Amino acid sequence: MSEDLREMLTDAAVREGDVVTGEVTAVDENGVTVALSHGFEGHIAPQELSAVPGTNPTEVTSVGSQITAVVVKVDMESGQVTLSKRRAEQASAWNRMQELLASGEPIEVEIRDVVKGGLVADVGVRAFIPASLVDRRFVENLDEFKGKTLRAKVVEVDPEKNKLILSRRALLEEETEAKAKALMEELKPGDVIEGTVQRLTDFGAFVDIGGADGLVHISELSFSHVNHPSEVVHEGDRVKVRVLRVDPEAGRISLSIKAALPEPWEEHANDYQPGDVVQGVVKRVVDFGAFVELQPGLEGLVHVSQISNEHVAHASDVLQPGQEVTVRVLSVDPERRRISLSMREPGPSRSENTGSNRRRERRPVERQDDSGTGATLGDLFGDLFK
């Protein structure tokens, strides 16, 4: 090394530990070249560019960009200045993370890598978002987040263990709660709105109505009897619902799909007239008969006496739920919302075709005399009336 170069390095006061800023002049797989003051060049190795191991230099910076780094080593013989962007950011990064943890303020991070169990980002130090804290719901494929910028909250900071945990889920839940609170203040019973089915349970379906989830109880899914919500809706379905109740204190919204539909009696009751023969499905069987669905939510009763021309002791002896039947409309009462149906064949019953109800012929009463010959009452007592 020449004396002139040694003097330049000494005069420039470029020393180990200094934080310097320069312009990026080259970027390749071997690292980044930086033009420093006084005409010196610095070099940043790939592993010193980011807190995330294996980061490609082109993902961090580009030619013409300004970059700040700490001086790691100055080689007086070659004039080479070794720099580290990663070390320059670490100290201030940990301080900033501590501040964000205390304030609860969210941070934007770019996802650099997907590893087993979560996502990795570089915020000056390595930040980790566990899979369970990525979303409010389970995410099957985390690869979809690589390269994306996410907003998250700092939930754990431990510089000694080089541990920084972020949570996107915590931020989403806070935002959801805020939206839900605002929505509950606007919603009123009777409002009809659209929503998306989020999840199903045995007792109903939860529907997202724009920032808050409301419950559609299984009894409010359809005018027809429903055994399980999956018979009517599926996750992801867009549905129209009517607001039944809003309880801001409990954070509950009760919804109804059924109440948002046209009322079956108003829509179809006039479609049926006495004497009409129609098809239906047996929905319920009770002691006194069977309820037959003619339209979703529109049922008529076949009384046990109207099930057959033969005597039927119990409706369940003849009919079962789910059975398709042909019925004849006997009467329609819109005010009481009742339809009487019959499955009996028209015409006389079997008993009317037997001799049991015929008028019997009157025949004279015969008596046997002692001789065994037949004699009428007139023959025996006729002389008494002369």
Q: What is the pLDDT of residues 323-378, one digit of tens each?
A: 999 999 999 988 888 999 999 987 554 444 444 333 333 334 344 444 444 444 45
CATH homologous superfamily of 3-87: Nucleic acid-binding proteins (2.40.50.140)
Mean pLDDT of 104-124: 93
Domain boundaries along the sequence of the chain: 3-87, 104-171, 187-260, 271-342
pLDDT bracket for residue 1 (50, 70, 90):
very low
Global pTM exceeds 0.85: no
Q: What is the CA radius of gyration of the chain?
A: 44
Tell me the residue ranges of DSSP E strands in 183-295.
192-201, 204-208, 213-217, 238-247, 252-256, 277-286, 289-295
Distance of CA 249 to the CA centre of its chain: 23
CA distance 139 to 168: 12
Here the tokens at position 327 are: 């019925």
DSSP per-residue string spanning 310-357: S--S-GGGT--TT-EEEEEEEEEETTTTEEEEE-SPSS--GGGGSGGG
pLDDT bracket for residue 13 (50, 70, 90):
low
Return the CATH class of domain 187-260.
mainly beta
Residue 7: what pLDDT? 57
Q: What is the DSSP letter of 265?
A: H
| Three-state secondary structure call for residue 250 | coil
Query: Would you give the end-to-end CA distance of the chain in angstroms?
Result: 175
Residue 351: what pLDDT? 42
For 77, what's the count of Cα atoms within 13 Å in the CB-facing half-sphere? Answer: 0
pLDDT bracket for residue 137 (50, 70, 90):
confident
Percent helix, strand and coil across the chain, each rounded to 5?
30, 35, 35
Residue 6: what pLDDT? 55
Residue 319: what pLDDT? 93
Percent of the chain with pLDDT over 70: 86
Task: Please provide the CATH number assigned to the domain covering 104-171.
Answer: 2.40.50.140
Do domains 3-87 and 104-171 share one topology? The answer is: yes
C-alpha distances in angstroms, 192 versus 36, 208, 318? 66, 14, 43
Pick the CATH number of 271-342 from 3.30.70.920, 2.40.50.140, 3.20.10.10, 3.40.640.10: 2.40.50.140
